[in-house]
Amino acid sequence: MDVALQTELEPVTSNRRMRLTAVVVATAMFMQNVDSTVIATALPAMAKSFHADPLHMSVTLTSYLISLSVFIPASGWVADHFGSRQVFRAAIVIFTVASVLCGFAPSLTVLVAARVLQGLGGAMMIPVGRLVLLRSVSKTQMIAATSWLTIPSLIGPILGPPLGGFIVTYFSWRWVFDINVPIGIAGAIAVTLFIPDLRVADRGGKLDLSGLFLTGFTMAALMAGFETLGRGLVPLPWTLTSLVLGTAAAVTYALHARSHPHPVLDFSLMRIPTFANSILAGSLFRIAVGAMPFLLPLMLQISFGKSPMQSGLITFASAAGALGMKPTAQPLLRRFGFRATMTINGTLASGFIALCALFTPSWPALLISGLLLLGGFFRSLQFTAFNTIAYSDIPRARMSAATSLYSTVQQITLTLGIVIGAAALEVSAALHHHSRAAVSDFGIAFLLVGIIGILAVPICYRLSNDAGEAVSGRHGMN
C-alpha cells in the first residue's frame, strides 16, 4: 500500500460540527429508508386509483430497487469527479423532485418512471452521504458519527408501515410521497450551509462504462430474480433465468475488474482484513436483520390479529432500542474492542431475532415490546460496529471506492433477507398444509434467519484483538 496514503492528514473537526454533519446525512438517509417501506402499505390504494391489479403494483417497488442497484456502483466515481458535497446535495434534490412526480403521477407508467428517477437519487444519496461524513471526521470520531447513520436504517423500515397505513387511511396515498418534500428541502439547504466541501484527488481515469454495465446488469438481474422468487409474479423459468444471467454477469465483471486499472467496484479492497470481515460477516447479519421488517409486522397482523396501528406501536420498540444504543457504542467499543464486542453482541443480537420464534398471540404486548427493544439495541450496536470497522483501515483516497462496494453489498443482502424470510414462510406453510402462514411457520422463519445471523459470529472472532483500535481509542487504555 502506498506509504503516502497511510500518512495522510486527518481532518480537524469539532465534535459539534461532527454531530451536525452526521445529523444532516442521517436525515437524508432516514428519508430514503422511510420511503422504501412506507409505500408498501399504500399499494392497494394505488392499485384502486389506477384501476390496476394489486399484484402488478409490485413493479413500483422493484423498479425503485433495480434503479437503486444499477446506479450505486457509479456513486464513488461520480463523487470523486464532481465533489461529494455537490453530488450529495444533487441526490437529495433529485430524490425530492422525483417524490413530487410520484405524488402527481396520472398513471402507473408515469409512477414507475418517477420511481426509477427516485432510485437514481437514492443510489447517490446513500453511499455519497456516508462518504461525506467519513471525509469530514477523524478516525477517533468515526464510531460516534456512524452511530447516527445506523439509526435511520433501523427506524425507517419499522416506522414506514404504520406511517403509510395512517396516511392512506386518513388522507390519500399521494401524501406518502409528499412527506419527502419538506425533509428534502431542509436537507438540501442544510447541506449547503453546514456540510464542508472537502475534496480529494479523484481516482483518475474515465468512468468504467463496461464495468458499470456489467454491475448494473448483475444487480438488476439478481434483484429482479430475488424479488420474484417464489412469489408467483412471473413464471419460475423467468426468475431462474434472471438469477443465472445475473450470476454469469457477476463472474464476467470479476474477471473484468482484475484487469481494469480503475474498476467501478474495486474488489482489491477485500485485501484489507477489517473491510473484508465487515463485508462477509456484515452480509450474513444483514440478511437476518433484513427479514425482520418483513416478518414481524406480517406475523403480528396475520397470525396475531393485530391492526396495522397496533402492530406499528409494538414494532416501534425496536426503533426505541436503536436510539438507546447511540450513547453507549463508543464506551463499549473503547472498553472491549471490536472483536470481543462484535462476537458477544452479535450472538445476543441474533439470539433476540431467533427469540421471536417463541412469540405467540397469548404473549402480552408489553413483554413482546420489551424484548424487541432489547433486540433493537443489540442490532443497532452491531451495525455501528460493522459500519465503523469497515472503514477503519481504508485510506482516505479510497473511501469513495469503499462506499460504493459496501453499499452495493448492503443492497443485495438486505433484499436477500426479505427473500429468505418469505421463502421460509411459504415452504413451511406448504409442508404443514396451511392455507396461510401460521404462528409455527413464522417461528421457523425467525429461527432460520436467526441462525444465519449467528453464522457471522465466528467470522467476527477471526478479527485480530487490536482491530480497529485507531477508531475505538482502545490502544490508549492498554
Please give the chain's pLDDT, 478 residues, in tens. 343 444 455 666 677 777 788 888 888 888 887 777 777 667 667 777 887 765 566 677 767 877 887 888 888 888 888 888 889 999 999 999 999 999 888 888 888 899 999 989 988 888 888 888 888 777 777 777 787 777 776 677 667 767 777 787 778 888 888 888 998 999 899 888 888 776 665 555 677 888 888 988 888 888 777 767 655 667 778 888 888 998 999 899 989 888 888 888 888 889 999 999 999 999 999 999 888 877 887 788 778 888 767 777 787 788 778 777 777 888 888 888 899 999 999 999 999 999 999 999 999 989 999 999 999 899 989 988 998 898 888 887 788 888 888 888 887 887 788 778 877 887 888 888 887 778 888 999 999 999 999 999 999 999 988 887 877 766 555 4
Q: What single-letter amino acid sits at 120?
A: L
Q: What is the pLDDT of residue 69?
A: 77
C-alpha span between 252 and 241 (Å, rounded) = 16
DSSP 227-249: HHTTTSSS-HHHHHHHHHHHHHH
Q: What is the pLDDT of residue 203?
A: 52
Contact 103, 175 (CB under 8 A): yes
Q: What is the pLDDT of residue 5?
A: 40
Distance in angstroms between the alpha carbons of the first and the last residue of the chain: 27
C-alpha cell at 76: 464513488
**φ/ψ of residue 72, rounded to 5:** -55, -45
C-alpha span between 336 and 49 (Å, rounded) = 55
Q: What is the pLDDT of residue 4?
A: 40
**What 3-state DSSP class applies to 468?**
coil
C-alpha span between 32 and 119 (Å, rounded) = 10
Angle between helix 15-50 and 180-194 (nearest 10): 160
C-alpha span between 253 and 264 (Å, rounded) = 10
Q: What is the pLDDT of residue 347?
A: 96
